[in-house]
Amino acid sequence: MTELSLFDRGLHYGDGLFETIAVDAGQPLCWSAHWQRLHRGADRLNIPLPDYATLTAEVQTQARALHYGVLKLLVTRGVGGRGYAPPLEAHPVWHCLSYPWPAYPASHWLQGVVVRVCDLRLAVQPALAGIKHLNRLEQVLARQEWHTPRIQEGIVLDSAGYVREGTMSNIFWCRGQDLFTPELTTCGVAGVIRDLLIQYAPTWGYRVHVGDYPLTELATAEAVFLTNSVIGLWPVRQVQQWRYPLGSVVRALQDQLRAQAWMMRDVEIARNYTA
């Protein structure tokens, strides 16, 4: 099926959620982590989710067919009438779309990327923060701020001036063994790879700090990097006038993250959910 009802609330209100899932060797990486975030989002919006077994079977089938690429799983509250009030009994609709692996050059991982700071500020909205919902006009506006392929990502601050994320990624920086990443309880998307890093980096010998940081923090960072489910980890070599040499910490994290994400391929599904 390649079409959606014109009366779907996903279209009318962005009343839904999505997950972007990397597929490698026919395996949906970190699927159970994606499922968990989807579940958190559905709880927040009060959208009934299709059951885990159904979605998992679909994601696994499509991952096997795709072999290598990206799946985008969309879940909406389904068809409704005119008006914001959800139907008393909503029938959620979901679609799993396949995309080829994006044609990023290897240098993005090896030498790092160049990043700008966006003019657009993220609005503070705790009710929608952290989850991956379908209201993404802020990201669309921020991503329209540059067109040169020399710049690969934009950092967005919130309306109070704190660093929050990239338009399509989460941001981290480090000093020694201390890793820093913004708190995302007032805006932003809590990425699956960000969660994974926050969870596992302490076991790899790092201290992780999550907080409200001004942009000037990046001036004194030893390294800056971006994460998401598709790129994994991209080192940042330049943010505006600040340049960062490629350090051993970022290299080590790339390796650890890759190993961890691979370990969390769908094999884990059986381990976690066959109770």
Maximum C-alpha span of the chain: 56
Q: Residue 152 interacts with a copy of itself (CB under 8 A)?
A: no
Q: At what angle are helices 192-200 and 248-263 packed, to 10 degrees?
A: 110
Q: At what angle are helices 52-66 and 31-45 packed, to 10 degrees?
A: 140
Smallest gap from residue 20 Cβ to a copy of itself (A): 7
User: CB atoms < 10 A from the CB of 148, how many?
Assistant: 8
- Point out which span in 27-35, 137-145, 177-185, 190-198 binds a copy of itself (CB under 8 A): 137-145
Smallest gap from residue 200 Cβ to a copy of itself (A): 27
22 to 51, contacts with a copy of itself by CB under 8 A? 45-46
Instruction: Assess whether 153 carries a catalytic annotation.
Output: no
Smallest gap from residue 275 Cβ to a copy of itself (A): 32
- Point out which span in 15-23, 205-213, 217-225, 256-264 binds a copy of itself (CB under 8 A): 15-23
Residue 170 and residue 187: Cα distance in Å, rounded? 12
Q: Residue 141 interacts with a copy of itself (CB under 8 A)?
A: yes
Smallest gap from residue 136 Cβ to a copy of itself (A): 4
Residue 80 CB contacts under 8 Å (≥ 6 apart), including other chains:
7, 8, 9, 12, 15, 86, 87, 90
CA terminus-to-terminus distance, the chain: 33
What single DSSP character describes residue 6? T
Instruction: Assess whether 165 carries a catalytic annotation.
Output: yes
Residue 6 and residue 191: Cα distance in Å, rounded? 30
Instruction: Assess whether 56 carries a catalytic annotation.
Output: no
Q: Residue 256 interacts with a copy of itself (CB under 8 A)?
A: no
Residue 269 CB contacts under 8 Å (≥ 6 apart), including other chains:
31, 32, 56, 60
Q: Residue 143 interacts with a copy of itself (CB under 8 A)?
A: yes
Residue 71 or 197: which CB sits closer to a copy of itself? 71
Residue 83 or 176: which CB sits closer to a copy of itself? 83
Binding site residues, a copy of itself, CB under 8 A:
1-15, 18, 20, 45-46, 70, 72, 74, 76, 81-86, 95, 97, 99, 102, 120, 123-125, 127-128, 133-144, 159, 167-168, 187
